[in-house]
């Protein structure tokens, strides 16, 4: 094992130095519909064919240019360009073959393309390797005989043609193309990542908006419909008294009209956009006797708690309301949250503890608003649906969850749970600095 590990490490180093990573291609991510001439395979075959034709033509014209007999020189000239087919994957190996062909005077035409490939496909990964190959190219083309060194003009021309034009210019062009390709790939990746993030943000926003709409629908419909169901159930027991029946019918009519008004308001606000809907769809407006929505004045959302108590009291629920501290105008979100806390708590009392004595306590403190709704044990069993398969007022089990989120968004805390006497309590503490004037 000790002898195989060094050899394995050596092979890994050689492979990482010689082979360009597979994910480095001449293809910019995200592109499609590439024309045939811009296909990497077609381009490599075309370059190889051009170099092959030039090398064979030069060998036929100069049969003794090379280290062997004319026929062997021609064969070598035909074989030298073939490694160019692998110039994208192993540019150093292709370059080594081209340098050997140049030194042995077999072919000069593969050298510029090999150095271009070195700059384009190795350059983005290892600049040091590129400059080492450039130095090797300089050593390969520098005259090794004394003649050119005694004639500076001849030496300068030899270096200009053999190094600058055949090696340095293709190498720099390859470096430029490789960096350009890397930059384009990075921009495309960044654009795709931004598009994915934008899509995820849009999906999250849609999910949040759906959750908000569901919460609003629950808040608007649940309380009013619960009152309607309670009063409708009471009609059967008071049918002999026309006066009481008319009062119950009037209460049902008012509750139904108010529910429709609030639903109409919310649907209209949803059509007009989320910014507008955020303001009034939470219960900021009130409805008059004709069902027309009226603008809410300062503190109206908290002031409507009394109306909630009255409607529940009319439905047969013994409700008491206490207010402590000096009422003042608060932020709209705080007022809406306080209103929804009482609304959800009274709705749950109607559903789960009909007839239970309920106490609502609203306390204004210098820096906070406390809303507490407590109820005792149920005064009577919950009414059953006419088919007898469930309660008259079914529960989805999500009201308190949505309420806790609403209170949290308003900057407050919600506590809800059973009491020792069999009742239930819902307590919310909301930040209550005075509303700043516009």
Q: How far is CA 364 from the centre of its chain?
A: 42
pLDDT of residue 32: 46
Full 3-state SS string of 306-367: HHHHHHHHHCCCCEEEEEECCCCCECHHHHHHHHHHHHHHHHHHHHHCCCCCEEEEEEECCC
Q: How far apart are CA 148 and CA 154, in angstroms?
A: 6
232: three-class secondary structure by DSSP: helix
For the chain, the straight-line distance linking the first and the last C-alpha, in angstroms and rounded, comes to: 80
Higher pLDDT, 278 or 291: 278
Buried b (16+ CB within 10 A) or exposed e, 101-121: bbeeebbbbbbbbbbbbbbbb
**Tens-place pLDDT, residues 185-225:** 889 989 999 999 988 988 887 777 677 666 666 666 666 67
Q: What is the β-pairing status of strands 358-364 and 319-324?
A: parallel
Query: Could you give the angle at the alpha carbon of 376 between the alpha carbons of 374 and 377, nearest 5°?
Result: 140
pTM, rounded to two decimals: 0.47
Q: What token pair was written down for 91?
A: 């540019």
Higher pLDDT, 248 or 47: 47
Higher pLDDT, 393 or 354: 354
Total length of the chain: 438
**Tens-place pLDDT, residues 217-253:** 666 666 667 767 766 766 666 667 777 677 777 777 7
């Amino acid at each position: 094992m000790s002898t195989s590990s060094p050899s394995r490490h050596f092979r890994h180093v050689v492979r990482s130095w010689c082979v360009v990573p597979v994910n480095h291609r001449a293809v910019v991510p995200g592109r499609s519909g590439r024309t045939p001439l811009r296909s990497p395979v077609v381009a490599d075959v075309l370059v190889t064919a051009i170099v092959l034709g030039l090398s064979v033509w030069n060998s036929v014209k100069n049969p003794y240019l090379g280290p062997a007999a004319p026929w062997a020189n021609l064969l070598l000239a035909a074989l030298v360009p073939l490694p160019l087919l692998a110039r994208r994957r192993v540019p150093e190996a292709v370059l080594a073959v081209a340098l050997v062909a140049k030194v042995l005077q077999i072919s000069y035409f593969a050298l510029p393309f090999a150095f271009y490939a070195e700059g384009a496909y190795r350059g983005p990964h290892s600049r040091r390797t590129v400059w080492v190959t450039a130095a090797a190219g300089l050593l390969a083309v520098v005259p090794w005989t004394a003649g050119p060194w005694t004639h500076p003009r001849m030496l300068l021309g030899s270096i200009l043609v053999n190094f600058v034009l055949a090696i340095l210019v293709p190498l720099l062009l390859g470096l430029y193309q490789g960096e350009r390709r890397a930059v384009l790939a990075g921009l495309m990746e960044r654009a795709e990542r931004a598009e994915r993030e934008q899509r995820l943000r849009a999906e999250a926003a849609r999910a949040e908006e759906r959750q908000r709409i569901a919460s609003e629908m629950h808040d608007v419909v649940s309380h009013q419909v619960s009152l309607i169901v309670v009063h409708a159930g009471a009609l059967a027991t008071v049918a002999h008294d026309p006066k009481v029946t008319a009062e119950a019918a009037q209460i049902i009519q008012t509750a139904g009209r108010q529910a429709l008004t609030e639903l109409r308001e919310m649907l209209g606000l949803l059509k007009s956009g989320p910014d507008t809907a955020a303001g009034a769809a939470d219960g900021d407006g009130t409805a008059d006797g004709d069902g027309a929505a009226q603008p809410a004045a300062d503190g109206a959302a908290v002031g409507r708690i009394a109306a909630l108590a009255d409607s529940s009291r009319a439905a047969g629920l013994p409700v008491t309301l206490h207010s402590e501290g000096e009422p003042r105008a608060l932020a709209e979100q705080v007022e809406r949250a306080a209103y929804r806390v009482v609304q959800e708590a009274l709705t749950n009392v109607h559903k789960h503890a009909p007839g239970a004595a309920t106490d609502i306590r609203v306390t204004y403190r210098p820096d906070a608003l406390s809303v507490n709704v407590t109820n005792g044990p149920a005064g009577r069993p919950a009414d059953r649906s006419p088919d007898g398969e469930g309660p008259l007022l079914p529960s989805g089990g999500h009201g308190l969850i949505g309420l806790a989120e609403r209170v949290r968004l308003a900057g407050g805390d919600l506590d809800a749970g059973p009491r020792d006497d069999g009742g239930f309590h819902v307590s919310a503490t909301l930040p209550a600095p005075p509303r700043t004037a516009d």
